[in-house]
Amino acid sequence: MDRLLGVAPNRLLNVLLLLEAGLHIYGEIHNWKLFYSSVYMVLSGVVLLGAGVILHMACHKHHKSAHKKAEEIENITTSGAFSIIRHPMYLSIMMIVWGMYLAWNFKLILPLPMLITVLLYVLAKREERYLLEHIGEEYGKYMASVRWMFLPGVI
């Protein structure tokens, strides 16, 4: 697939994920006083992060070629979480990123999970356009049978 902001989309995503984690760690080391104080927020972040990791690992069981380029994918995975939503791996990354944000609860990092979420949405839309063009009717039928991209009943 083509570039996003002049960079390969997966590299941009990796840089943003590393930047988020690095800023969290830097804030911990330097004891920045910009944290929320809610234990519930931290616990919900840990649960969301853990659920995202579990979902990501479960997706790999069904989609063995998940990290290949779109051009190399020859068939559509329709089992497991892929039978409920079309992009469960992108959802799992969103869950991990938002879980990190809530668990570390550092206010200044908020733009990063928001940006990563938007980037993943744009990537998913581009991927769908590409698969419709190259796989065609089979992917169109899959989109019709699995209506939701990320969250059933929402989007």
Mean pLDDT (whole number) for 95-115: 85
| pTM for this predicted structure | 0.81
Per-residue confidence band for 15, with pLDDT thresholds at 50, 70 and 90: confident
Mean pLDDT (whole number) for 144-148: 95
Higher pLDDT, 26 or 37: 26
Higher pLDDT, 155 or 118: 118
Higher pLDDT, 69 or 124: 124
pLDDT digit string, tens, across residues 43-56: 898 999 999 999 99
CA distance 42 to 103: 4
Residue 146 predicted with pLDDT over 90: yes
Closest alpha carbon to 52 in 101, 111, 122: 101
Tokens of 72: 């190399």
pLDDT digit string, tens, across residues 49-101: 999 999 999 998 888 776 677 677 778 889 999 999 999 999 999 999 999 88
